[in-house]
Amino acid sequence: MLLVATYSREARTSLRNACRSHESAVRRQFGRAALLAETEFGAFLALRLREKHGADVQIEHTSPLNEYAAVPEEIREAATAYADRDQPSTPYAKFATGTDHPDPTTMRDREL
């Protein structure tokens, strides 16, 4: 999908108007951002906004994440284990210490 985020009042107003007028091209709208359909028309709406508001409009191409294809197993396992932890107040860094789970610094430095 196309993520359109706006960074000025004028751009935000234009985005809201575009979303209101072209509901079928809008997958989701959040405040000053929206996910548009990945169609030529969605791209047309997004580019029209960027043409009008320049760098106050950010356009990203998004796709759903398939963690089984894109995320290493140890990261998935760490997420599952941390979500299941006994002490809700334990920060992840402490949780990972002394286990096989990766530490957060290592994860931050590794690109997906």
Partner 1 sequence: MRVSGEEAADGDRAIDLRGAPISLDTVRAAIQRNHPTVRTEYPEPTRWWPTLGIPRDDAAPLDRLVAAARSRGQYPPAERALAAAQRELREITVERVDTDGTRRRLADAGSEVERLREEVATARGRLQSRQEMGADTAEAEAALDDAVRRLSEAETERVAAEQAHDAAQRRARETRAARERRLRLQDRVANRRRDTRHALAASVEDAFAAAVDALPGEATFSIDPLGVEGDEVTAALAAARIADLRAPVIDTTRRFESASAGAEALDAPVVRL
**Site for partner 1, residues 85 to 104, rule: CB under 8 A:** none
- Using CB under 8 A as the binding rule, whether residue 56 contacts partner 1 is answered as yes
Q: Using an 8 Å Cβ cutoff, are 10 and 56 in contact?
A: yes
Beta bridge pairs of residue 2? 36, 61
- For the bound state, the minimum distance from the C-beta of residue 8 to partner 1, rounded and expressed in Å, comes to 6
Q: CA angle, corner 13, sides to 9 and 15, nearest 5?
A: 115
**Site for partner 1, residues 60 to 79, rule: CB under 8 A:** none
Q: How far apart are CA 63 and CA 100, in angstroms?
A: 30
Whichever of 6 and 14 has its CB closer to partner 1, that residue is 6
- For the bound state, the minimum distance from the C-beta of residue 107 to partner 1, rounded and expressed in Å, comes to 20
3-state secondary structure of 26: strand
Footprint of partner 1 (CB under 8 A): 6-9, 12, 32, 54-56, 58
